[in-house]
Structures are given as C-alpha cells and as structure tokens.
Amino acid sequence: MKVVASYNVKGGVGKTTAAVNLAYLASARGRRTLIWDLDPQGAATYLFRVKPKVKGGSAKLVGGARPVEAALKGTDFHGLDLLPADFTYRNMDLDLARSHRKAGKAARALARLLRDLADDYDVVFLDTPPSLSLVSENVLRAADLVLVPIIPTVLALRTFDQLAEFVDTLDRDRPRLHAFFSMADRRKALHREIIADLPRRREGVSPTAIPALSVIEQMAVRRAPLPAYAPNSPAARAFESLWSEIAELLPA
C-alpha cells in the first residue's frame, strides 16, 4: 500500500482538487484506492456527497478506540472509498498529542492507523488542511509521496523550498516530494516562464501543469471528480498525465 499526501502549507492552491481527481484516476486504473479527508472543512467529503461525520470523532479515531474500517464509506465510484472528514478533526493535533505520550509516537500515529488498511488498499490519498502542525508532521511521515500543488509565483516557490528543508530534517520517514503547478495561467508571462524553467532546474518538480480552468472549478457544483463528468477535457488529461507520473513513482 502506498500513501500519497496532497499537501501545502498554503490554502486554496488545489490540494483537494488534486487529491480527489488523482484518487479517482487511481481507482479507475484498477488500484484499490482510499482517500482520507483530513481537513475538518471537509471539501473532499463534500465533493463525494458524503456527510462529514465520523462516529466518535477524531479522538476515538486517532486514539484507536474505534477501528478505521468502521468509518469507511464507499463512494459512487468503483474501487474508491472515502474516510470522511469530521468537524472534530480541528482538534486532531490535541487528540494526537493526548493519546500518545511520546512525541515520536504522536508523530507517527496516522501512519500506524493506515497500516491496518494495508491489505485492503493499493493506494491511500491524504487530503490535508493548510497548516504546519502535528497533523502535517504525521502526514509527511506517513506518506511515501507528497504532492505539492504550487501556483507558479516566486513566493509560492519559496514555500516549497521551506517544505523541502523541513522534510530533510525528518530522519527515517522521509517522503519523496513531487511538486506540480496548479492553476497555471498561460496568459501570464511569469507563469509561463516559471513553468518552462523550473522543472528543468529543480528536482521533484513535475513538468505537468494543471491549467486554471472553469471546468475544474465546476467540481463543487457537480460534486464529482472532474474526469467523471468531463473525461475528455484538457483539464482531465492534465490530471491523467499527472497520475501517470505518480503511478510510475509508486509501482503497484
């Protein structure tokens, strides 16, 4: 089982959009897939039309009092399940710290929970809230691959560098980083420049850019993954090539 996190400290950069579409594509390509919506806002959960509710909430879940399996929901898509968000996830940092005395354990609690699902899924996507917290550290440690959506601006690049530095400090659980350009606007010269230049100069930056398109924005209206309602759109193609890259980095 491979774990892919969609993560960025910044908000509104396309984390959820990427996690939902890539999870959909992974399952459509035959991988048994789970997506865990760790964001108490529950955007991914909303997109799958599932109610943001986990019985017992974050405390029971991260404390191990309730099995992860009990909270799973089958999505409308074949081979794709969801672990929904719950409003109590906003306390997950506290719950993690509280239920695990040792800091080392608290930082690896999510990884441990995921291990229970190892026989059931080939790949698990983690959709994360924008923050740098104990939850984020858990996510980074649990992940084999961290997908980082970046908007092609200089400032956004700086945050990516900071993340890379932080990940370097992780001892044994160091995930691979894979950044990609999100909401790329071809009409903006700076965007074009960065997209053309950076993947060549910088390791771990995908040559695939997800364009800024209204068909992607429509996901919230349709409440469905993009490739499910616009399979042949250029936007869906872009996510497909992103998934192909990831699939190669994560041999089944």
Partner 1 sequence: MLNDRRTRGFQQVNYNRPNSVRSSPGFAAVPKDSHPPSLHWRGEPTRGEAEAVLAALEPVTASRYELSVGPRRVRTVTYLDTVDWRLRGKGLVASHERASGPGTLTIDGDGVSGTTRLTELPQWPARVEQLPEGEARDGMASAMWVRAVGPVLRSRAVTREVAVLDDEGKTVVRLDWAEVTGIDPVATPPLVRVSLWPVLGYGRDAKRVRKALRAAEGFADVDGDLYDGLLTAAGIVPEEAAAPAITREMPADVAIATALHGFAGVIAVNVNGVLDDIDTEFLHDLRVAVRRTRSLLKLAGDVLPPRLVARYEPDFKWLGDITTPTRDLDVYLLEFDALTAMLVAGEPDDLAPFGELLRAEREKARRTLARALRSQRFTRLIEGWQAALAEIIDRERSEAELSAEALAGQRVRRMVKKVVRRARSITPESPSESVHDLRKRCKELRYLLEVVKPVCDEAAHRAVIKDLKKVQDILGAFQDGEVQSESLRGFAERLQAGNRRPPAATLLAMGELSAGFVDMQLRARHDLTEALERFLGPATHERIKALLP
Ligand X SMILES: Nc1ncnc2c1ncn2[C@@H]1O[C@H](COP(=O)(O)OP(=O)(O)OP(=O)(O)O)[C@@H](O)[C@H]1O
Binding interface with Mg ion (CB under 5 A): 15-16, 43
23 lies in the site for partner 1, by CB under 8 A: no
**Tokens encoding 50:** 């599932």
Q: Which amino acid is at 190?
A: L
CB of 220 to ligand X, least distance (A): 5
* Phi, psi torsion values for 190, nearest 5 degrees: -60, -45
3-state secondary structure 163-193: HHHHHHHCCCCCCEEEEEEEEECCCCHHHHH
166 lies in the site for partner 1, by CB under 8 A: no
Residues 6+ apart with CB under 8 A from 113: 61, 62, 64, 68
Q: Which of 5, 80, 107, 216 binds partner 1 (CB under 8 A)?
A: 80
What is the rounded CA–CA span in Å between residue 21 and residue 42?
15
87 lies in the site for partner 1, by CB under 8 A: no
Residues 188-207 touching partner 1, rule: CB under 8 A, are: none
CB of 127 to Mg ion, least distance (A): 6
What is the rounded CA–CA span in Å between residue 81 and residue 1?
14
Please give the angle made by the CA atoms of 14, 47 and 15, to the nearest 5 degrees: 15
What is the rounded CA–CA span in Å between residue 224 and residue 100?
36
Q: Which of 5, 7, 16, 138 binds ligand X (CB under 6 A)?
A: 16
Q: Report what 228 binds from ligand X, partner 1, Mg ion, none; CB cut-off 5-8 Å by kind.
A: partner 1
Nearer Cβ to ligand X, position 14 or 225?
14
Residues 105-164 touching partner 1, rule: CB under 8 A, are: 120-121
Residue ranges binding partner 1 (CB under 8 A): 27, 30, 32-34, 48-51, 69, 71-81, 120-121, 223-224, 228-229
Residue ranges binding ligand X (CB under 6 A): 11-17, 39, 43, 130, 182-183, 210, 212-213, 216-217, 219-220
